[in-house]
């Protein structure tokens, strides 16, 4: 079994997967409790436009997806303020715009069709050294930022109105959190694919909420579940020639199903 680690590309996949296994549920817990899980879904679809743009521009598609997803995240925040009584419109508008741009750009990036498929469904084989460095660096930034602003994020998550009254810079922190979500989506896409990124952010969190007694416990359990899903998914996809993204999410769903048995 350990012959899997004799391959350089698998070692890169495990390193990148370990980082993603931490940041996806870490950000996902805040998303779930703030009832913003659809934001991850929206940004993951928009990220395809960034991949296509990166291919056309001749740069790393991950870098292109980060840039586009950040712009989309800012767009969602801006539209949420404009349509504050119908905030869900912001997500629908950004998804529509992102997918429209992605379709147009993909027409011009036909030569990179295989590369696009790797980002669409995830590919452990195509994880490069550059990907590992980028995921590790920005993943660590996400973790440190959440650790630094944990109390503020927690306060806003459970009572945004009270946080505003208490004098917290709610808008600035929400803006910062939006950046964290965008980075997580763009980075996780390399492992599980754009279509399934939001599932990795939400499913371990949903599973942990069934058994956790506190928010900190929910974070710990969700990270453990995410690690199991990602590592088992990578191993199974290698030995049985399966799609890594789909395998990871199916394992995550199975874990959620088991925790749901608790009354």
Q: Confidence class of residue 15 from pLDDT cuts 50, 70 and 90?
A: very high
pLDDT at position 111: 55
Structural domains in the chain, CATH included, are 2-259 (1.10.3470.10)
pLDDT tens digits, residue range 226-248? 999 999 999 999 999 888 889 99
Among 62-66, 77-81, 82-86, 92-96, which is the least confidently predicted range?
82-86
Quote the CA–CA distance of 41 and 63 in Å, as a whole number: 19
Q: Confidence class of residue 62 from pLDDT cuts 50, 70 and 90?
A: confident
Tell me if 109 sits within 8 A of 60, measured CB to CB. no
Q: Confidence class of residue 87 from pLDDT cuts 50, 70 and 90?
A: low
Q: What is the mean pLDDT of the chain?
A: 87
- 69 pLDDT exceeds 60? yes
- 57 pLDDT exceeds 90? no
Token pair 């020639």: residue = 241
- 39 pLDDT exceeds 70? yes
pLDDT at position 233: 94
pLDDT: is 230 or 38 the higher one?
Answer: 230
Taking alpha carbons only, the member of 258, 250, 245, 262 closest to residue 121 is 245
- 205 pLDDT exceeds 80? yes
The token pair at 255 is 């874990």
Quote the CA–CA distance of 118 and 100 in Å, as a whole number: 20
Tell me if 188 sits within 8 A of 240, measured CB to CB. no
pLDDT at position 115: 66
- 204 pLDDT exceeds 90? yes
- In our burial notation (b when 16+ CB lie closer than 10 A, e otherwise), range 118-151 reads bbbbbbbebbeeebbebbeebbeebbebbeebee
Mean pLDDT, residues 71-89 = 76
- 61 pLDDT exceeds 90? no
The CA-based angle 96-36-90, given to 5 degrees, is: 35
Q: What percent of the chain has pLDDT over 90?
A: 43
The token pair at 190 is 């390399």
Q: Is the pTM of this model over 0.95?
A: no
């Amino acid at each position: 079994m350990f012959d899997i680690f004799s391959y350089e590309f698998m070692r890169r996949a495990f390193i990148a997967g370990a980082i993603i296994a931490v940041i996806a549920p870490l950000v996902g817990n805040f998303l779930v409790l703030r009832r913003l899980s659809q934001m991850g879904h929206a940004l993951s679809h928009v990220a395809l436009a960034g991949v296509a743009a990166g291919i056309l521009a001749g740069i790393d598609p991950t870098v292109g997806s980060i840039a586009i997803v950040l712009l989309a995240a800012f767009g969602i925040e801006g539209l949420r303020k404009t349509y504050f009584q119908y905030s869900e419109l912001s997500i629908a508008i950004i998804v529509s715009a992102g997918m429209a741009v992605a379709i147009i750009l993909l027409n011009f990036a036909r030569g990179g069709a295989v590369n696009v498929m790797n980002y669409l469904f995830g590919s452990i084989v195509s994880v490069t050294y550059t990907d590992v460095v980028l995921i590790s660096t920005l993943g660590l930034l996400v973790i440190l930022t959440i650790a630094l602003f944990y109390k503020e994020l927690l306060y806003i998550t459970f009572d945004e109105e009270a946080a505003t009254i208490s004098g917290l810079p709610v808008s600035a922190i929400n803006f910062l959190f939006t950046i964290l979500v965008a980075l997580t989506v763009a980075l996780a896409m390399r492992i599980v694919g754009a279509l399934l990124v939001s599932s990795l952010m939400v499913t371990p969190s949903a599973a942990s909420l069934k058994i956790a007694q506190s928010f900190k416990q929910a974070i710990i359990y969700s990270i453990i579940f995410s690690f199991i899903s990602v590592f088992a998914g990578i191993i199974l996809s290698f030995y049985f020639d399966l799609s890594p993204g789909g395998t990871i999410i199916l394992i995550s769903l199975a874990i959620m199903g088991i925790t749901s048995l608790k009354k």
